[in-house]
A and B are shown apart, each in its own frame.
Chain A
Amino acid sequence: MTSSIIRMSKGPILENRIVIDDIVAGYGPVQVLRGVSVHVEPGETVVLLGSNGNGKSTLINAIMGIVRPTAGSIILERDGQRIDLIGKAPEEIVGLGIAMVPEGRRLFPALTVEENLMLGAYRKDARAKITENLEFCLEAFPALRERYKQIAGNMSGGEQQMIAFARALMSAPSILLIDEPSVGLAPILVNRMIAKIAELKTHRNLTILMAEQNFNQAIKIADRGYIIVHGEIAFEGRNTEELKNNELIKQYYLGV
């Protein structure tokens, strides 16, 4: 086991990678992940594919410290430091520059758009960049500027998904975990959301790990991906071509 070293970096963050090695995790007696190894390299967009109930969300929750793995390791490499994420609380992991857009958005429904976004910038490193990040988010999602003082819970699903993204970006992350961004959105909105993720990624120099059921959408922005079946990595595609040509994908998604 690597000892956990946390160093506050003052300068620009050079390299961030997540290396997940052979983790076993679940909820109580139910084992969901059975020895999963995944790595995300700096600047990559990696997708986790697979239908519901195969362990995509559990994997993302394990990285965030929401689910605690019973075996294996999750290491964040940050500017040459190796930080063990297992055993850390979600708020500590957010403090290391990893943000999550949770499934179902999980906004603070009784608060305004402004208050939701400002809460995104709660962590210390984010507060210094608040003006710059807010301007970026409102530029990226102009609808939020118009509805800045409105109650988040009263807004449409698409707008709420925008708030969830903007809120995650307000924490000035270097790594963004996205759990099922297409759930509950009309197809046209899913299209826009995926295009927006690609745009945000290039502007913010983000490293992204995204869980998504919608293969055709996910593949548009993926550099590479994994297919999870029954809590195990069934296939690792080193590029989108490999994913498209995979038998599992053909079987599950493309109906071939």
Chain B
Amino acid sequence: MFSGELFFNAIVSGLLIGGFYAAVALGLSITFGCLEIVNIAHPTFVIFGSYVTYILNVNFGLDPILAGLVFVPAFFVLGMFLYRFYYASFERAGQESLNGLAFFFGLMFTVEVLLILVYGVDYRLVSAPYIGQTWHLGYIDFPLRQTVPFVVGTAMTIGVYLFLSKTFLGRAIKAVSQDRLALQLMGADPIRVKQYAMGIAIATAAVAGSLLIILGPVEPSQGRLYIGRVFAMVVLGGMGSVSGTLIAALLIGVIESFVATFYGPSWAPAVSFGLLFITLALRPQGMFGRA
């Protein structure tokens, strides 16, 4: 059963999927990790992004990655509106914990049902020249269907990491939930900071949607598969640490791939939660979190 070929292919395949996971978890690392907004509708925006990619690909023949870049501004604005609504309805009144959670739960189902009403429950897929091709390095396979999402997802995550550490707005996003008043004393408006942060988070979710539909066909309720996983990655990585989230995503990708290869695919979903349990027991601040 065990062979070097299987072993290394499992590692590579896990890393490739992990890069995609990072793209999905990235936005949640901002909303949940930095803003402390429990956006359980986050994966729904990923699926929404997949469908927009699908529409642009099928109707205009646009490359899925290019489609992702084209609609980034639209999702950025959508995210800003979403925060404004959330703020005006819940956060301002201090009702974010329960009512806000219910709001995102409702939003998740609403978007899902809308997609089902318009496109049905069938799987949708896109076409691009690289989907279906595989590069080989020795006996290790690099299916481009997975490699392209890995490259784009990792690059986007590193880009956001640099943005958060090197720019004024980025640092303010990291600081806003630590001490809101102190941030005001730095001359920053916390509401605007959070609004931009949510815009960035939703935009990255939509790009992850483009990656998802490159990986394989997508149907409206698929986002639910990712909810637990992405929350696990954000907590494992240490709340609000983008670099930690990236490492957690790659790690979960690799372990899932191993479990799927050597024990059977049905065990793979247990990985993220198993890892989460162990980590929370031994290191509550996350594997890479700051104590």
A residues near B (Cβ < 8 Å) are 64, 66, 89-91, 94-95, 99-100, 102, 106-111, 115, 118-123, 126-127, 151, 153, 167, 171
A115 to B182, CA, bound (A): 13
Query: Contacts of A153 on B, CB cut-off 8 Å?
Result: 290
Query: Contacts of A115 on B, CB cut-off 8 Å?
Result: 165, 171, 174-175
Query: Contacts of A90 on B, CB cut-off 8 Å?
Result: 181, 184-185
A122 to B178, CA, bound (A): 16
Q: Closest CB-CB distance, A233 to chain B, in whole Å?
A: 26
A90 to B227, CA, bound (A): 38
Beta-carbon nearest neighbor of A130 in chain B: B168
A-B contact pairs, 18 of them (CB 8 A): A66-B181, A89-B184, A90-B184, A90-B185, A91-B186, A102-B185, A107-B179, A107-B182, A108-B174, A108-B179, A110-B174, A110-B240, A118-B168, A119-B168, A122-B172, A123-B186, A127-B168, A153-B290
B residues near A (Cβ < 8 Å) are 165, 168, 171-172, 174-175, 178-179, 181-189, 240, 290
Q: Which 6 pairs show the lowest CB-CB distances between chains A and B?
A: A123-B187, A94-B187, A90-B184, A106-B182, A108-B175, A122-B186
A108 to B34, CA, bound (A): 12
Query: Contacts of A127 on B, CB cut-off 8 Å?
Result: 168
Query: Contacts of B179 on A, CB cut-off 8 Å?
Result: 106-108
Q: Closest CB-CB distance, B53 to chain A, in whole Å?
A: 35
Q: Does B189 lie within 8 Å of A119, measured CB to CB?
A: no
Query: Contacts of B186 on A, CB cut-off 8 Å?
Result: 91, 94, 119-120, 122-123, 167, 171
Query: Contacts of B181 on A, CB cut-off 8 Å?
Result: 66, 90, 102, 106
Query: Contacts of A95 on B, CB cut-off 8 Å?
Result: 187
B174, B184, B185: the one within 8 Å of A111 (CB): B174
Query: Contacts of B175 on A, CB cut-off 8 Å?
Result: 108, 111, 115, 119
Query: Contacts of A100 on B, CB cut-off 8 Å?
Result: 185
Query: Contacts of B168 on A, CB cut-off 8 Å?
Result: 118-119, 121-122, 127
A89, A108, A121: the one within 8 Å of B178 (CB): A108
A119 to B175, CA, bound (A): 9
A123 to B168, CA, bound (A): 9
A122 to B290, CA, bound (A): 24
Q: Closest CB-CB distance, B120 to chain A, in whole Å?
A: 46
Query: Contacts of A118 on B, CB cut-off 8 Å?
Result: 168, 171
A134 to B179, CA, bound (A): 22
Q: Closest CB-CB distance, B11 to chain A, in whole Å?
A: 32
Other A-B pairs, 16, CB within 8 Å; known A108-B182, A110-B174, A122-B168: A89-B184, A90-B184, A99-B185, A106-B182, A108-B174, A110-B290, A115-B171, A115-B175, A118-B168, A118-B171, A119-B175, A119-B183, A119-B186, A122-B186, A123-B187, A171-B187
A3 to B149, CA, bound (A): 56
A83 to B82, CA, bound (A): 35
Q: Does A91 lie within 8 Å of B178, measured CB to CB?
A: no
Beta-carbon nearest neighbor of A102 in chain B: B185
Q: Does A91 lie within 8 Å of B171, measured CB to CB?
A: no
Given contacts A106-B181, A106-B182, A171-B186, contact A111 B240 (CB under 8 A): no
